[in-house]
Chain A
Amino acid sequence: MALCAHSVFAFDDAELDSLYRRFQIEEVEVTARVLDKDVIKPQTLKGAELQRLNALSVADALRYFSGVQIKDYGGVGGIKTINIRSMGSQHTAVYYNGVQLGNAQNGQIDLGRFSLDNMEEIQLYNGQKSDIFQSAREFGSAGNVYLTTRKPYFKEGEKVHLHAKMRFGSFALANPNVGVDVRLTDKMALTFDAEYMYSDGKYPFRYRRVLPSGETAYDTTAVRQNGDINAVRTELGLHHYYRTTGFWRIHAYNYYSERGIPGAIVNNVWRNGERLWDRNSFVQAQWQDEWFDRWNTRLVAKYANDYTHYKNFDERLLPSDNEYTQQEIYLSLANKVKVFNWWDLSLAYDYQYNTLDRLNLLLEEAPERFIRHSHWLSAATAFNIKEYLRLQASVLMTHVMNPGSSIGNQQLSVPKVTPGTFLSFRPYPEIDLSINAFYKQSYRYPTFNDLYYTDLGNASLRPELARQHSVELAYNIVNRSFSRQAVFEHGGLSSLSVAVSYYYNRVTDKIIAYPKGQQFRWTMLNLGTVKINGVDAKADMSLFLPLRFVLRTRLNYTYQTAIDLTNANDSYYGHQIPYIPKHSGSVVAALDWQSKRGDHYGLNYSFIYVGERYSQQENTIYNYVQPWYTHDLTVYGEWGIKRWWLKANLEINNLLGQDYEVIQNYPMPKQNVRCTIAVKY
């Protein structure tokens, strides 16, 4: 958090002329080097780079990270979840401004709901954030995504910033967004952001199959139905940075949506009737300070209240009309002590209280309530041996208690202890070449659905264990010595960052649905074992070209085998688990040109590739899913007129109109466009 505190006001510096501000990405890198608490750097997308991607939601942006698979059911309102290094989406924790987003009901966060409009930075950490000053719970997940919203930046004398954005696009997308930042005092600021989104979700999709001879077997184009969405998001933040080391802030978030669930397209069924209403609200407060230059303390408190109403209007199917209300109270206290300059210790304790109320509106029954208490206690230490070696070790004790419910029995729970160690070795301090490695264990706890879902839940589930081993070789060059203006005029390398990592993960006691003895009835069991071997490779480059052109490229490639080793008698033993491609990757190339008066014009091209995979556990031809890849293009212009700043942006997605599915029978949109006009003051 210290880094954030600095960077917020770092830009007050009057030196930040318009040119300089353009390259704030590199600037943050430069300052971050000194302040960097992370032993292993995360994958990051932020600022202008993030805004120029062909991405509407956080989920779209995460596709540009390596080692990540996004499940996308298609369309603006379709669920989008992230699976890091094939361990399963419930092993991933998502943090909003440093505090974890919870979903005790099913453990999955729909990242399609988080707009990029208010987003400043997205970071992905494998293992955990390797900074020991964090809340206890942050040590508890196998992979972590940190979302950081826009922070106020004020130059000397500035009091108010306004921004407004209007986005239109295919599928009747209308998406206005307004925000205001007010400087209340010298050190205190208020931010407000509101967004509305509507889309009718009606996009054409095509199913074409050919005979082995190449002759068309069938070819049909239909329009996706019941994929409409209406959503409103409002956020309010109060930030007070009262000294360089101390701040507090309060953040309130509210999201409301109504949407259709378009469902699977199967023979003879072209529309479905399920609808969903959601409200996600939370207030979180953080306070942090440092004492005697040695002792850091952080306090976090959060209250969240989420409501979901699901109703199936398809009269042909099982009628259902359910309401779910989840509440969460979360408290965290973290402390870090600098024993010596080379040795830090931290201790943190978190407590969380969750409830889920389930009400079946079709039955005149009282709602069922499920309760969970969770305690986390972490201890961590970090050593820096000169410039060469940085070491961290953490240990987390987790105790989750489900005291039972009207139908579920009390789950016997045992505190679990999980270790994590992180290491970074830099053989040549003058060169930013590092060998990074980590080993970590983490548990994914059964969700309320796993434990208590009608008929399916199993209250005696154990948590699922993930063990991760990872080694990385990373090399960075940042051209810090040049005179910016000269290089900018004549060209040269601005920055280059290359990293290759190999990892071996093993997930055991995996919680899977397994049929019970009688007819078609399922239950959740700790049955699965998955072995994952993967290589992630990434290269980011930023190049100044003559005539004030800047080229940025970002390449990611992932190779993964994720093998089911549950039972040697299964027909799929040793097969790749569903929806994990062996090969996947992305290419982003952005060309930006700056006019002499400081206006910008640019083109952003991105290519995403997801290789062949299987829709079910058995890797047979009947479950084979072809690779998909999309080419996306953005053209933009940015103009500064006195204190006003104007941006226009046109995105063309799936440029070649590929008909593809990420999840079988959930067709994705063909070519589609979005147009955005934004004004800032």
Chain B
Amino acid sequence: MSLSVSGLLSLSAAVFTSCRGDEVIYPTIGTHVTDEIRNGGLYVLCEGNMGSNKARIDYMNLKEGEYYANWYGCQNPRQMKELGDVGNDLQTYGGRLYAVINCSHKVEVMDRKARHIGQVEIPNCRYLAFRGDKMYVSAYVGSVATPELLGSVFEVDTATLEVTREVKVGHQPDELCIVDGKLYVANSGGYLTNRYDSTLSVIDLSSFTETEKIVVGMNPTRVRVDDQKHLWVCCQGNYNDRKPSVVVLNKGQEIRRLGIPCANISILGSVAYIIDNEQHKLRAFSTIDFSELDQPIDISAFEHPYGLLAETDVLYITDAKNYVSSGVLHCFGYDGKEHWIAMTGDIPGHLCRVSGEYMLHSDTVQHDTTALSPYISRVYEYMPAMGQFVNVLPKYEEGDDAESMCRKCELAIANNAGGMICLGGWGGYVTFGFDHSVQNNEGYDLRILGNAFLMSGNSAYGSSEPGIVLVSRDENKNGIPDDAWYELKGSEYDSPTTLHKVAKTYTREGDTLRNPFHTQPYYPQWIKEESITFTGARLAPLTENISGQSVQRILDYGYADNKPNTDLTGTSFDISWAVDADGKSISLPCVDFIRIYTAVDETFEATGELSTEITGAIDLHIARD
């Protein structure tokens, strides 16, 4: 019987190859969303739906234009069950970051890089306010639940993270803010459908008692203070016949009532920005005379505008979409121009600007491979040595310069275009890159395609025009290949016939050789200089006469355009082969630039020089569609 069971097990294993593995923590995925450079960073708290445990803190490095999904995850990989269930507020205070995680009944306390310091357990906590060394947390329930369902505000010592005092307020208190030593709490009554609360509780911070209740309007959820020390209270109404409104208070007295709905509010200087979620409009009001100001940012295409943060130079606003899928963070200029967008987690609700600019080491970030292309995206340099296909592949036309020739190379070999470029004789090179860094993972990392083929009947020989492959990291992060180069050590590297550190100069004057098939100039015509000097390594001549044919010996591994494209491993390269100028092996986590140059110096009267041809390259770690 045991036989039959094990037989079945192996059968089932054969039928279902997809097996369960270790549950790996959620990755942090970095995406480059803009080339614009600003200072500091922006934290985004994505709420996640109740029960999904998908509250998430993302981080945008505004200097690098890099958006990191699940930044909290990589900073706190050992946090049991991650950040928690339903984020509700995010604020920075005293060099720390505080996040309210509503259904995890806690306030998560982090350092400025979002690394966990501790947590404060507060049941059904909602929003935060700070003063001095104290944090104030509104909560729908107190430490002792009351039958009338009154909420509480807790005072927490930010040094010890202990609750020091508690005061009972109204029903389901939401936002709170502090003006002149008084804490104002918006009692929403959100649990009491049809019997919403409509008051602000005023708490004297020294005695920590509720001194009065101010009636504002039905279902107040947000309360913010402006530059005039006015309180802006957003009342949601009953979602039925009682309309929402924004009430402005001065010293507890209503001074203005704006009959507009307010899903979110952000006050910058003397302007209050309000999301009008009925008209799907971002509106601006003066805090001085409450007049409505012109506001050109257009959010009418948003599905559900949700999070809002006005900054001096730009305004951030999120679209929560349908609340059960990824939201979008938009960055607008005040002229209405959209600067960039980033894909967030579910329900991006809370934005918090910080000064820190943090990067993750590239090997700890998993780049969003679905959005990346496995093919060459950019050709940075194209500098062929003299050759019979130079000025043809790609074609030089009057007026072309180095830059336009690079674009022509991109048309030929980038994005899987399938064309071909020629590097000319020994030393001629091309430098290209992808829309991402190529990771140095286990095994091969990269394929480089050329036009090599094997001799029929003798696979040791064929048409091989090997190119040496160099790699480089963009260490100075300037996006230009001006960093140190490392050679990928191929099979001939240690051969005594291989000469390292060779130089050769080609001159326009010396461009005399022509074969009958290619009569154009062989010297790259867009080069203004009269001579070009190349340096690098040179392999011994490969050409032999086999069965009356002039063919090359196929090298073992590690050279471009050496083996046919049908040979997957023969055209693949491992970044781990990299060596420095002294031949010492060097470990690179990833590379940004790849350069290939013709490695042999052989010219024949009838067939011209041996020149490396490149038809494309593929990052093996990016899934192709």
A residues with a Cβ closer than 8 A to B are 207-212, 214, 217-218, 220, 263-269, 315-319, 454-455, 514-522, 551, 557, 570-572, 583, 585, 587, 589, 591, 603, 605, 607, 609, 611-612, 615-618, 620-622, 626-629, 631, 658, 660, 664-665
| A621 and B83 in contact, given A269-B104, A629-B16 (Cβ under 8 angstroms) | no
Q: Which of A517, A520, A612 contacts B278 (CB 8 A)?
A: A517
B8 at interface, CB cutoff 8 A? yes
Q: List 21 A-B contacts (CB under 8 A).
A: A208-B23, A209-B24, A217-B77, A218-B79, A220-B80, A263-B51, A264-B51, A264-B53, A265-B81, A266-B81, A266-B84, A267-B79, A267-B85, A518-B236, A518-B261, A557-B15, A583-B18, A605-B5, A627-B19, A629-B19, A629-B20
Rounded to whole angstroms, the CA-CA distance of A268 and B79 in the bound complex is 10
CB distance from A274 to the nearest CB of B (A): 12
CB distance from A631 to the nearest CB of B (A): 8
In contact, B105 and A316 (Cβ under 8 angstroms): yes
Complex interface: chain B residues within 8 A of A316 (CB): 105, 123-124, 140-141, 145
Complex interface: chain B residues within 8 A of A217 (CB): 25, 77-78
Rounded to whole angstroms, the CA-CA distance of A517 and B304 in the bound complex is 7
Q: Which of B4, B124, B244, B261 contacts A591 (CB 8 A)?
A: B4
Rounded to whole angstroms, the CA-CA distance of A217 and B82 in the bound complex is 11
Most buried by B among A265, A520, A583: A520
Rounded to whole angstroms, the CA-CA distance of A209 and B27 in the bound complex is 12
Chain A's closest residue to B240 (CB) is: A455
In contact, B81 and A585 (Cβ under 8 angstroms): no
B254 at interface, CB cutoff 8 A? no
Complex interface: chain B residues within 8 A of A620 (CB): 326
The 4 closest A-B pairs by CB, nearest first: A267-B84, A315-B145, A266-B85, A316-B123
Complex interface: chain B residues within 8 A of A218 (CB): 78-80
Q: Which of B25, B80, B123, B345 contacts A267 (CB 8 A)?
A: B80
Determine the main DSSP class of A at the interface with B: loop
Rounded to whole angstroms, the CA-CA distance of A265 and B22 in the bound complex is 19
B321 at interface, CB cutoff 8 A? yes
B277 at interface, CB cutoff 8 A? yes
Complex interface: chain B residues within 8 A of A317 (CB): 124
Rounded to whole angstroms, the CA-CA distance of A620 and B11 in the bound complex is 31
In contact, A211 and B25 (Cβ under 8 angstroms): yes
Other CB < 8 Å A-B pairs besides A519-B221, A585-B16, 17 of them? A210-B24, A266-B53, A267-B53, A267-B82, A268-B106, A316-B123, A319-B191, A519-B236, A521-B239, A583-B16, A607-B9, A607-B12, A609-B12, A616-B324, A621-B29, A629-B16, A665-B52
| A658 and B20 in contact, given A266-B53, A591-B4 (Cβ under 8 angstroms) | yes
B residues with a Cβ closer than 8 A to A are 1, 4-5, 8-9, 11-12, 15-16, 18-27, 29, 51-56, 69-70, 77-85, 101, 103-106, 119, 121, 123-124, 140-141, 145, 149, 191, 193, 221, 236, 239, 244, 261, 263, 277-278, 304, 320-326, 343, 345-346, 366
Complex interface: chain B residues within 8 A of A517 (CB): 277-278, 304
In contact, A665 and B51 (Cβ under 8 angstroms): yes
Q: Which of B21, B149, B239 contacts A518 (CB 8 A)?
A: B239
CB distance from B300 to the nearest CB of A (A): 13
CB distance from B69 to the nearest CB of A (A): 8
Rounded to whole angstroms, the CA-CA distance of A591 and B3 in the bound complex is 12
In contact, A612 and B103 (Cβ under 8 angstroms): no
Rounded to whole angstroms, the CA-CA distance of A631 and B52 in the bound complex is 28
Complex interface: chain A residues within 8 A of B78 (CB): 217-218
In contact, A615 and B27 (Cβ under 8 angstroms): no
CB distance from B33 to the nearest CB of A (A): 15
| A455 and B193 in contact, given A264-B51, A585-B15, A589-B8 (Cβ under 8 angstroms) | yes
CB distance from B337 to the nearest CB of A (A): 22
| A626 and B323 in contact, given A268-B106, A519-B236, A587-B8 (Cβ under 8 angstroms) | no
Complex interface: chain B residues within 8 A of A616 (CB): 52, 324-325, 346
In contact, B101 and A267 (Cβ under 8 angstroms): yes
Rounded to whole angstroms, the CA-CA distance of A316 and B323 in the bound complex is 24
Rounded to whole angstroms, the CA-CA distance of A571 and B104 in the bound complex is 28
In contact, B15 and A209 (Cβ under 8 angstroms): no
Complex interface: chain A residues within 8 A of B12 (CB): 587, 607, 609, 629
Complex interface: chain A residues within 8 A of B21 (CB): 626
In contact, B323 and A269 (Cβ under 8 angstroms): no
Chain A's closest residue to B70 (CB) is: A622
Q: Which of A266, A515, A591, A603 contacts B104 (CB 8 A)?
A: A266
Complex interface: chain A residues within 8 A of B101 (CB): 267-268
| A571 and B321 in contact, given A217-B78, A269-B105, A622-B26 (Cβ under 8 angstroms) | yes
Q: Which of B8, B20, B149, B239 contacts A626 (CB 8 A)?
A: B20
Rounded to whole angstroms, the CA-CA distance of A112 and B289 in the bound complex is 63
Q: Which of A210, A571, A622, A660 contacts B20 (CB 8 A)?
A: A660
In contact, B22 and A210 (Cβ under 8 angstroms): yes
CB distance from B236 to the nearest CB of A (A): 6
Chain B's closest residue to A315 (CB) is: B145
Rounded to whole angstroms, the CA-CA distance of A497 and B25 in the bound complex is 44
CB distance from A560 to the nearest CB of B (A): 14
CB distance from A258 to the nearest CB of B (A): 23
In contact, B191 and A318 (Cβ under 8 angstroms): yes
Complex interface: chain A residues within 8 A of B345 (CB): 622
Chain B's closest residue to A615 (CB) is: B52
Complex interface: chain B residues within 8 A of A518 (CB): 236, 239, 244, 261, 263, 277-278
Rounded to whole angstroms, the CA-CA distance of A212 and B261 in the bound complex is 46
Chain A's closest residue to B146 (CB) is: A315
Complex interface: chain A residues within 8 A of B221 (CB): 519
Q: Which of A521, A587, A660 contacts B11 (CB 8 A)?
A: A587
In contact, B22 and A214 (Cβ under 8 angstroms): yes
Rounded to whole angstroms, the CA-CA distance of A621 and B29 in the bound complex is 10
Chain A's closest residue to B21 (CB) is: A626
Chain A's closest residue to B221 (CB) is: A519
Rounded to whole angstroms, the CA-CA distance of A211 and B23 in the bound complex is 9
CB distance from A525 to the nearest CB of B (A): 10
Most buried by A among B53, B78, B80, B81: B81
Complex interface: chain A residues within 8 A of B239 (CB): 455, 516, 518, 521
| A514 and B322 in contact, given A315-B145, A605-B5, A627-B19 (Cβ under 8 angstroms) | yes
Most buried by B among A266, A603, A618, A622: A266
| A266 and B326 in contact, given A211-B24, A218-B80, A454-B193 (Cβ under 8 angstroms) | no
Rounded to whole angstroms, the CA-CA distance of A612 and B69 in the bound complex is 22
Chain B's closest residue to A263 (CB) is: B51
Most buried by B among A267, A603, A607, A609: A267
Complex interface: chain A residues within 8 A of B106 (CB): 267-268
In contact, B124 and A628 (Cβ under 8 angstroms): no
CB distance from B6 to the nearest CB of A (A): 10
CB distance from A610 to the nearest CB of B (A): 10
In contact, A589 and B4 (Cβ under 8 angstroms): yes
Rounded to whole angstroms, the CA-CA distance of A605 and B15 in the bound complex is 17
Rounded to whole angstroms, the CA-CA distance of A317 and B102 in the bound complex is 10
CB distance from A637 to the nearest CB of B (A): 15
Complex interface: chain B residues within 8 A of A622 (CB): 26, 54, 56, 69-70, 345
Complex interface: chain B residues within 8 A of A591 (CB): 1, 4
Chain A's closest residue to B76 (CB) is: A217
Rounded to whole angstroms, the CA-CA distance of A424 and B539 in the bound complex is 73
Rounded to whole angstroms, the CA-CA distance of A210 and B321 in the bound complex is 32
In contact, B104 and A628 (Cβ under 8 angstroms): no
Rounded to whole angstroms, the CA-CA distance of A518 and B222 in the bound complex is 14
Rounded to whole angstroms, the CA-CA distance of A451 and B104 in the bound complex is 31
Complex interface: chain B residues within 8 A of A269 (CB): 85, 103-105
CB distance from A273 to the nearest CB of B (A): 11
Rounded to whole angstroms, the CA-CA distance of A318 and B18 in the bound complex is 42
Complex interface: chain A residues within 8 A of B123 (CB): 315-316
CB distance from B495 to the nearest CB of A (A): 37
Chain A's closest residue to B321 (CB) is: A571
Complex interface: chain B residues within 8 A of A220 (CB): 80
CB distance from B24 to the nearest CB of A (A): 6
In contact, A664 and B19 (Cβ under 8 angstroms): no
